[in-house]
């Protein structure tokens, strides 16, 4: 961010650091040659620690939604009973994909703003446990809620040991601690345009041996999104179809930056920016939409206050180069969202809050000048202090 570049505070595509931008402008290469194989190998092995997995990971050329479709169509057959746990737009989308391909979907829908709580999962699985798969959203971008995936997965493993756990981790993986193998997740999806600080165009899918085995017999049709084909090609350092090479250049560079910062540093920065955003918005009198206990560290949703003309208000904010996201689906006009993931810095969050404060004052809202940035800075420092005091993970 500088004064010639917008402060892009949407939850993806996230702003690209200068060196990632440079990577996106590189010349093409032969995607069937050794240089590409080295690139694909670096991206794969660079991502695995963030997934928390030693399993094979493949790179698809598609949006995150394509990754979700790949999760469904590669592991399931028409008629398979599937439990879809949904807390927002993206959970609903995951369920719709399974339905479109003929799965027998049972929905456990949580009121938007809330999380999928372990007890509710347990009750649902007590009633019926023969699901072939459970679809989970790690971080629900539409509401700013992060589900307690580890606790949920533990209950699924206990109550429905045969069920595959398929996880949409698109909008937080890489920004927060994640442990696919330790949590017993079978398949996990992410996307290049989120924590990875790259342009959209790639979805990364990791699957454990149980999931890879399920793909051998799954009967939903697929060609383009066939994960086994991708795994087979990856052995030769290739993808089965022409990949989004330039985005791969960017993810490679994004991973280099993340490794230099260290995963712990990346996570602490996200936690600090999230705490700052929540504190600042609260100080400005906005009611946070998500259940506080499950507030996301990558995106924060706040209610549009009664009586505020959002379109005019947001127009003023945009005129000051801060780009916020609106509500999706039935939350359109009800909430707004602030993205704080990827290349985000505290400076950008303070800047966005300063603009929100200025526009709030202009709109006659009752706010204390300087209050939001002060509250945000205090909250960030608290998080960073706690992170420094925390034991360093092995």
Minimum Å gap between C-beta 390 and its own copies is 32
Closer residue to its own copies in complex, CB, 244/373: 244
Closer residue to its own copies in complex, CB, 114/237: 237
102 is a contact residue toward its own copies (CB under 8 A):
yes
User: What residues contact residue 348 under an 8 Å CB cut-off, 6+ apart?
Assistant: 1, 7, 9, 273
Give how far the C-alpha of residue 147 lies from the chain's centroid of Cα atoms, to the nearest Å.
12
Tokens of 16: 């690209």
24 is a contact residue toward its own copies (CB under 8 A):
yes
52 is a contact residue toward its own copies (CB under 8 A):
no
Tokens of 260: 């230099």
Picking from 102, 103, 84, 104, the residue whose alpha carbon sits closest to that of residue 94 is 84
- 15, 159, 295, 352: residue in contact with its own copies (rule CB under 8 A): 15
25 is a contact residue toward its own copies (CB under 8 A):
yes
Minimum Å gap between C-beta 78 and its own copies is 9
Minimum Å gap between C-beta 226 and its own copies is 9
- 242, 261, 330, 386: residue in contact with its own copies (rule CB under 8 A): 242
E runs forming strands in the chain: 7-9, 57-61, 81-86, 104-109, 133-137, 139-140, 145-146, 164-168, 187-191, 202-207, 299-303, 322-326, 335-339
Candidates 128-136, 241-249, 261-269, 358-366; binding stretch for its own copies (CB under 8 A):
241-249
32 is a contact residue toward its own copies (CB under 8 A):
yes
Rounded Cα gap, residues 103 and 337, in angstroms:
32
Q: How far is CA 92 from CA 99, 105, 129, 194, 342, in A?
A: 10, 11, 21, 20, 25
- 7, 8, 105, 153: residue in contact with its own copies (rule CB under 8 A): 8
For helices 64-75 and 209-217, the axis angle rounded to 10 degrees is 70
Q: How many CB atoms lie within 10 A of CB 316?
A: 16
Minimum Å gap between C-beta 376 and its own copies is 23
* DSSP code, position 292: G
- 97, 163, 355, 383: residue in contact with its own copies (rule CB under 8 A): 97
- 52, 201, 237, 327: residue in contact with its own copies (rule CB under 8 A): 201
Closer residue to its own copies in complex, CB, 87/247: 247
Q: What does the chain come to in residues?
A: 394
Question: Hey, is 72 helix, strand or coil?
Answer: helix
Rounded Cα gap, residues 382 and 25, in angstroms:
39
- 37, 42, 63, 310: residue in contact with its own copies (rule CB under 8 A): 63
Candidates 14-22, 132-140, 159-167, 272-280; binding stretch for its own copies (CB under 8 A):
14-22
327 is a contact residue toward its own copies (CB under 8 A):
no
333 is a contact residue toward its own copies (CB under 8 A):
no
Using an 8 Å Cβ cutoff, are 59 and 230 in contact? Answer: yes
Candidates 37-45, 46-54, 129-137, 238-246; binding stretch for its own copies (CB under 8 A):
238-246
Tokens of 8: 């892009």
- 48, 147, 193, 300: residue in contact with its own copies (rule CB under 8 A): 193
12 is a contact residue toward its own copies (CB under 8 A):
yes
340 is a contact residue toward its own copies (CB under 8 A):
no
Please work out, in degrees rounded to the nearest 5, the angle formed at the alpha carbon of residue 323 by the alpha carbons of 92 and 7.
125
Radius of gyration (Cα) for the chain, nearest Å?
Answer: 21
- Residues 246-285, one symbol each (x = binds its own copies by CB under 8 A, - = not), give xx--x-----------------------------------
- 100, 368, 386, 390: residue in contact with its own copies (rule CB under 8 A): 100
- Applying CB under 8 A, the residues found at the interface with its own copies are 5-6, 8, 10, 12-16, 21-33, 61-66, 69, 96-97, 100-102, 191, 193, 199-201, 220-225, 240-247, 250, 323, 325-326
């Amino acid at each position: 961010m500088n004064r010639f570049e917008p402060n892009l505070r949407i939850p993806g595509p996230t702003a690209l650091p200068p060196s990632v931008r440079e990577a996106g402008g590189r010349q093409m290469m032969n995607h069937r040659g050794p240089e590409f194989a080295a690139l694909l190998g670096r991206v794969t092995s660079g991502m695995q620690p963030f997934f928390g997995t030693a399993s094979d990971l493949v790179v698809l050329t598609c949006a995150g939604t394509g990754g979700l479709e790949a999760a469904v169509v590669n592991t399931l057959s028409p008629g398979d009973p599937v439990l879809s746990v949904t807390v927002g737009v993206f959970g609903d989308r995951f369920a719709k994909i399974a339905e479109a391909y003929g799965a027998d979907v049972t929905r456990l829908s949580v009121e938007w703003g809330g999380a999928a709580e372990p007890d509710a999962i347990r009750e649902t699985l007590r009633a019926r446990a023969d699901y072939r798969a459970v679809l989970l959203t790690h971080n629900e971008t539409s509401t700013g809620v992060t589900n307690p995936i580890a606790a949920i997965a533990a209950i699924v493993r206990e109550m429905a040991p045969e069920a595959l756990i398929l996880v949409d981790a698109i909008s937080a993986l890489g920004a927060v601690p994640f442990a696919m193998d330790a949590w017993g997740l079978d398949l996990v999806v992410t996307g290049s345009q989120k924590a990875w600080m790259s342009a959209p165009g790639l979805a990364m899918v990791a699957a454990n041996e149980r999931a890879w085995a399920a793909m051998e017999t799954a009967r939903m049709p697929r060609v383009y999104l066939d994960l086994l084909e991708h795994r087979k090609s990856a052995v030769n350092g290739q993808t089965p179809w022409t990949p989004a090479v330039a985005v791969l250049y960017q993810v490679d560079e994004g991973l280099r930056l993340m490794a230099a910062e260290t995963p712990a540093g990346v996570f602490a920065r996200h936690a600090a920016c999230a705490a700052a955003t929540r504190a600042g918005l609260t100080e400005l009198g906005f009611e946070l939409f998500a259940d506080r206990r499950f507030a996301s560290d990558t995106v924060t949703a706040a209610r549009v206050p009664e009586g505020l003309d959002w379109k005019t208000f947001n127009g003023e904010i945009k005129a000051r180069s801060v780009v916020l996201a609106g509500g999706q689906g039935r939350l359109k006009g009800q909430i707004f969202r602030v993205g704080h993931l990827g290349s985000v810095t505290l400076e950008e969050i303070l800047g966005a809050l300063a603009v929100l404060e200025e526009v709030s004052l202009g709109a006659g809202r009752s706010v204390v000048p300087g209050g939001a940035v002060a509250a945000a800075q205090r909250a960030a420092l608290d998080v960073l202090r706690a992170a420094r005091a925390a034991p360093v993970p092995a």
